[in-house]
Amino acid sequence: MPKPQCDLIPMEFNVVVEVDAPPDRIGSILLPPSVADKERLQADEGILVAISPLAFSYDDWPEGSRKPQIGDRVLIGRYTGITREKEGVLWRILKDKDVIAVVETQASVPDPVTEIHWGDRVMLAAKDEEVAKAGA
């Protein structure tokens, strides 16, 4: 069954985050509904699905830094905003200031190690001197 579309249009400085579904069990122990509901309210990570035109539009926004965009994985404050659930998908409507950080994917983080091919051997070397000193 396809995931329902978010039908929320945030106003003023609000954003909508599709909250990650918390686990329904810990190991082989099934969580009771009261604990599962609490876990849903404590969720602190999700996907940014809607942004109001005024969100992240501060006059003192740092020059050159990227503003959060729809589709970004973000960290949010626990218990912030209000929730809306539709067909098992939970959305949280919150103020843009409750978005704590954008989570960068591993592909966007540079690798501090490079491969050096020497004949049939492959060696790993640090790309900068500080990493080389730390590894020595």
* Contact by Cβ (8 Å): 54, 13: yes
Residue spans of the domains in the chain: they are 14-103, 111-136
Angle at 46 between CA 40 and CA 51, to 5 degrees: 115
22-40 confidence digits (pLDDT tens): 777 778 888 787 777 777 6
Q: Give the whole-angstrom CA distance, residue 62 versus residue 64.
A: 6
pLDDT in the model for residue 111: 53
Distance CA 46, CA 74 (A): 6
How far apart, in whole angstroms, are the C-alpha atoms of residue 6 and residue 3? 9
Query: Which of 54-63, 81-90, 110-119 shows the highest mean pLDDT?
Result: 81-90
pLDDT category, 21, cuts 50, 70, 90?
confident
Burial class (CB in 10 A: 0-12, 13-18, 19+), 42: exposed
Is-contact 32 3, C-beta < 8 A?
Answer: no
pLDDT the model gives residue 124: 59
CATH class of the domain whose range is 14-103: mainly beta
Specify the pTM: 0.67
At 62-82, the pLDDT tens digits run 777 888 999 999 999 888 899
Predicted local confidence at residue 92, as pLDDT: 93
The runs of H, that is alpha helices, within the chain are: 33-42, 129-135
